[in-house]
A and B are shown apart, each in its own frame.
Chain A
Amino acid sequence: MTEISNVQRPFLEVSDLAVQFPTEDGIVHAVDGVSFSIERGQTLAIVGESGSGKSVTAQAVMGLINKRNADVSGQAIFDGEDLVAMSDEGLRKLRGSKMAMIFQDPMSSLHPFYRIGDQLTEAVNAHHKVSKADARERAIEMLHKVGIPLPAKRFDDYPHQFSGGMRQRVMIAMALINSPSLLIADEPTTALDVTVQAQIIELISQLQQEFDTAVILITHDLGIVAEVADEVAVMYGARIVERGSVDDIFYHPQMPYTLGLLASVPRLNEVRSDRLDPIPGNPPSPIRLPAGCVFNPRCAHQDQVADDLCRTVRPALQNVGPAHQVRCHLPATERQAAADLTLSLLGRPGR
């Protein structure tokens, strides 16, 4: 045993991950230099608008990006192995066993032609040599665990015989059937009713504790983030623009985009509708990412930065707290002022 082995590396450490898709219109920069890390038992939320690169980041980690159609670079060290450099077969063996994924739309994520029981046992058999009976038993156990009533009976049903929420439970059961240590949930509740959403989130949390799983939760729902996440990474224009603990992001946000996100969250107790404050403008095209700060075309604060820096120089991820980083040219005081203003409008205490 050497000294280096004593250096504790994070369970999953992604550094400088980039994904590019060459197309006829130009290169799509779907993920551009993303870094984050996560430990077992922890939940990392990646938030951002559609097209910000959250899902592609998750799929790159899972090895679900077809390397024939895309360039993936950077590193993703998972339990000591680099997922980016790994062979397709190596990734396949990890997928569904050590790492698993749940998708946004449970209606279309299950194969309509196969019994859910078969789809579950297939996941078991892909990684373990077990008897049919054992696989079945395991599947029924998982169905029971995710709260499907009469699991032994429903084992032989087809997906179309389940409701949306029940299907997502089945998807969760399928993802967790081989007790993965990493679970990526890509917008797991977006397609579901509000009441069901809470149940699903609750289920994921509960199973996370049981299996001591690291969870990457991809969402644009800040409410859920606040509820379950330990860490938050805010993505915009293929990059992480702010990263920190839940407290950091909700109570000490620094990046104008994060502020915009917070401000656009609809609140049930909101009286004045003009307080709902979506960010003006559209997300950037991934083919032509803006020079400098990717957020600059929509940023209300860029005139507060000297020398046109926002439009010319790409801001580095700078530490603003112990585990809190932000990618912004605004001077610290200006950032703080903007954050205080937003938080006060939201009716929350500032720093």
Chain B
Amino acid sequence: MGKANKGLRLAAVGAVAALALAACGGGGSSSSSGGGEPTTGGTLYYLTNAEQFDQIDPQRIYTGEDLAFFNGTIYRTLTAYKFSPDAAEGTSIVADLATDTGTATNGGKTWAFTIRDGATFQDGSPVTCADVAYGTSRTFATDVITGGPTYAISMLDIPTLEDGSSAYKGPYTGEGQELFDKAVTCSADGKTITFNLSRPVPDFNYTVTLTAFAPVPKASDTGEKYGDAPVSSGPYKIESNKNGKGGKMVMVRNDKWDPASDDYRKAYPDSWEVDYGLDVKVIDQRLITSSGNDANALANGVEPEQLGVIYKSATEANPEFAGRAISELDPYVRYLAINVQKVPNLKIRQAIAVALDRDALRKNAGGDFAGDYADGVIKPNMGVDYAPSGMWDSLLGGKIPDAGDPALAKKLIAESGEAAPTITFDYPQSPTADKAAAIVVDSLGKAGITAKPNPIEPGQYYGVVFDPEQAHELINAGWGPDWPNASTIIPELFTPTGGFNLSQYDNAEFNAAVEAAKIEPDRAKQAKMWQDLNTLAMKDVVVVPTRFGREQRIVGKQIGPVYLWPAYGSWPYGEMYAVQQ
């Protein structure tokens, strides 16, 4: 659920390798801190402004923080990310429900996982291949199971109909069930599940970390309402859940969970309590004061006005908050998408990028605390997939100052053979965004480009800008990857089949290179391909990247470990503990 006012609705899971730069402010780079040694027992409190989780249904969860929370507490998945603050380690996978991290055959088109012995649901019944297959099949019921990731649909070897939808309509109608049963098969002993994919997916064992591939016992499925009473396979179960302000979710131990079957989750606390609908300022104050139960509390963000209280700088906390405050790169890249259908002339796009005052934009967003200058859509905390694109050093014909170069922009417009353009800038309205829009208008204006701000109600923003009829030339956006592979960035943002192609970019050569990269089995080679595609997109100025976002979080005095888990850019819920007094 994350912070309510993050501004981004889409863009989901963060696979984030912590930056080399000293990781977190308060010594969060060590895996345990703040509260001392891990102890069993107590209650951990999760304070949130949100009035409910977006989704609790495993097949519908699609927010990084929620995936981390529910994966760490009630939903086991075939594989899972390792708990570690380390960039590489924290984005590597380990076996969870499966005995290992899966076996690929058929050139990466067939993946098999064997389910561990002793894994059970909260009623004590064993988790079988059929449960995982059934859970996976729910994704296909797109009219019931809405909001979740649809990788099962796009990757499994099930034919599509003329309208682009899958021939399998999910378990509720049963239409095309035989197609699914062919794509996902179970061994005779019910232990091994095999996924037959339509194309090679070298990192499919990362894909199945998503709770969309978590098991669901068919008998307990209530369709749309399943999230109201989901069946746990993890160390906790939901005892009660009341949404809304003043409401709370209480999770208690699932006594049918066998620690022997799960060497992944630590399950330290006896219970979890999620307190909904708290005012963000009140959350900050409670965590800063950290008295009573708040010593065992955590939250997902800090309001700007408290940053000065907690931090010495964007990378270091004040002594009294050492060990319980972190400041890390978040999963998101902020950028302005340029609609290439409306701005087809490359020189004009270059002029826009060159003229933009990224320095003022970053300061407006909060300066160092808000993040670093971005040079592409892949962030340094993506690990192997990141390489500097050179966007501001050479791609645009030379070094571009952070505050923009209006003279060069004017020159580029002159070379374009077109008159200085008049463009409209779409952005979700907020006081900060209004100021940012003024900066965009002003800095483009200095280069002779007339920009008109078009503020849009935040809740309706993506509905508007995804409508080709309504979207304008320049579109404010942000994106984070679904897992630590740029396959969840480059194709989404820059190909016609991507889900977030605000630029309406459709370059045949580029598309072909993307398809090749997607199925490249050699991870190192694939990383190089993504790096090149990132550079290519920047060279074509499909988007103007402005900022690699950074976020700050604090927890109470008696909780650990305190680090941002690179896998999801979240707390490492599955190994958190309350320090007993």
Whether chain A touches chain B in the assembled complex (some CB pair under 8 Å)? no
Residues of A at the B interface (CB closer than 8 Å) are none
Using a CB–CB cutoff of 8 Å, the interface residues on chain B facing chain A are none
